[in-house]
Structures are given as structure tokens and as C-alpha cells.
Amino acid sequence: MSAWVHFVAASFVAATALLLLLLTAATSAAAAAAAAAPAKEQWIFQSEKKWDREWSSGAWHYQEQVPVERSRIAVIGGVLVQLYAPQANATILEVGCGEGAVTDFLSPVQKLGYVGVDISKEAISIAKAKRKGGGMRFVHAAAHRFEPHGKFDVVIFSEVLYYTEYEKILDQYLQYMNPNAIVIISIFQMTGKPKYENIFAYAQKKFQMVDEIEVHGKTKKLGADNKPVEKTAFRIEVLRKRT
């Protein structure tokens, strides 16, 4: 065999080996991405800009006008907080507070101990404008970045956990809770879907289950002024920090 044939054969072997190496690397990267996928599917990412756009366009204002949405808020603020954290000076933290509707159902003293946090600057300015005068504090911060000055007796996650890495967030907020504090979690019904089941399952692993309420009715989908109302249900759980 001539040197030229040797050279061509060697080049072919080297090229094949390189191709195989690249294919293996690509396959491992795809496998790693596939392994990571289920975790990602468990929560929905929406950027701060998108939240701001939705709040400034008025897309979420229906929540204060639709009876089932208002009932959910009333149950959280007017029933569950009152029954499970009855001390007058209870401190209340709401994550993803939106326009602060829960505070409509708090007593004047409870309002003084309320802090609402939201990723959307727009939502926070609407909350401040709509709910001024009661002494509540509204803070613009993403849930994972918020660091409170003190600890809380009640932490509310109303229709927000599925937008976050809920395991990390629940672990983080556990640190912000006083002994015996309660956490209230509301999630619209997605029965059978992993996201919905997993959030409650994780919460029950971390906290002690206290109560569960369902609120059923009809609601409108986000920004759907021209669409018919749909049947919907919310599951609200109350859990207590383990001692």
C-alpha cells in the first residue's frame, strides 16, 4: 500500500472517531436535557416584564369582579387567617400579592402587620393606589429574592406557587415563619396534573396539614372579556410549621 493510501485510511478512521465522539456528546447532552425536563414542567416561568404587561393592560382585574375569585380571596383573608391565626397582632406575608385584595378582609390591626410581595412593579403600584391608608406594606421583589426583616405568623401563596420553583420557595419561606405559623396555599384545580398534585404533596411533606377548603364557581380566563365564563374550582390548604 502506498503512503497516500495509508494517509487516506488513517484520515477516514480519525474522522469516523471524531464523528462518533460528537454524536456521543450530543446524545448525552440530549439525555441530560430530557432528564431535566420533568422538573421544568412542574412550574411556569413568566418574566417580570410579562407580568407588568398583564397588570398594566388590566388583564388581571377580573379577579375582583368574578364571584368565585372574590370568594377565594374572602376565604383566605376573612376566614382562614382569622381562624388559624386569631392573635390580633399576627404578622402576615403574602407572596405574589397582586393588587393586595386579601387585605380587604383583614382587620385594621392585621393590616398593620401585613406585607405583600410581588414580582410585578405594576401590581405593586396598583396595590398601593387601591389599598392606601391601612398601613399595609407592598414590596416589589421576586419571591426568591425577598428577604424580610422579621418573621411571620402567616404566609399566603395564593395562585402563585406554580409560577415559581415551589420546592425552593417553600423551603425558603419556612425560614421566614415563626414557630407555629401557618402557610395558606391556593391553587386552581388541575386535578391529576403533576404540577398541582406535587405542590400540595411537597407542602404536606414540609408542613403539618391543618385544613383544606374548595371553592367552586365560574370564572373568566385571563383577559377573556369576550369569552364565556367557565366552571372552575380552587383548592386552598392550610398547613402549620412543624415544631
Which residues would be at the binding site for ligand SAM (CB under 6 A)? 51, 63, 95-98, 101, 117-120, 123, 142-143, 158-160, 163-164
Number of CB atoms found within 10 A of residue 133's CB: 6
In the chain the first and final C-alpha atoms are separated, in Å, by: 82
Q: Are 206 and 170 in contact (CB under 8 A)?
A: yes
* Secondary structure of residue 19 in the 3-state scheme: helix
- Work out how close the CB of 233 gets to ligand SAM at its nearest, in angstroms, rounded to a whole number: 14
**DSSP-assigned letters across all residues of 175-241:** TTEEEEEEEEEEEE--TT-HHHHHHHHHHHHHSEEEEEEEEEEEE--TT-TTS--EEEEEEEEEEE-
- Work out how close the CB of 169 gets to ligand SAM at its nearest, in angstroms, rounded to a whole number: 8
d(CA 76, CA 103): 10
Q: Are 91 and 109 in contact (CB under 8 A)?
A: no
**Cβ-based nearer residue to ligand SAM, 2 or 227:** 227
**Cβ-based nearer residue to ligand SAM, 64 or 211:** 64
**Cβ-based nearer residue to ligand SAM, 19 or 230:** 230
Q: Are 210 and 240 in contact (CB under 8 A)?
A: yes
**In the chain, how long is the greatest CA-to-CA distance?**
96
**Cβ-based nearer residue to ligand SAM, 71 or 178:** 71
- Work out how close the CB of 84 gets to ligand SAM at its nearest, in angstroms, rounded to a whole number: 18
- Work out how close the CB of 30 gets to ligand SAM at its nearest, in angstroms, rounded to a whole number: 29
- Work out how close the CB of 101 gets to ligand SAM at its nearest, in angstroms, rounded to a whole number: 6
- State which residue has the least CB distance to ligand SAM: 96
Residue 167 host element (H or E): helix 166-174
**Cβ-based nearer residue to ligand SAM, 31 or 158:** 158
∠ CA 228-157-224, rounded to 5°: 15
- Work out how close the CB of 50 gets to ligand SAM at its nearest, in angstroms, rounded to a whole number: 9
**Cβ-based nearer residue to ligand SAM, 6 or 144:** 144
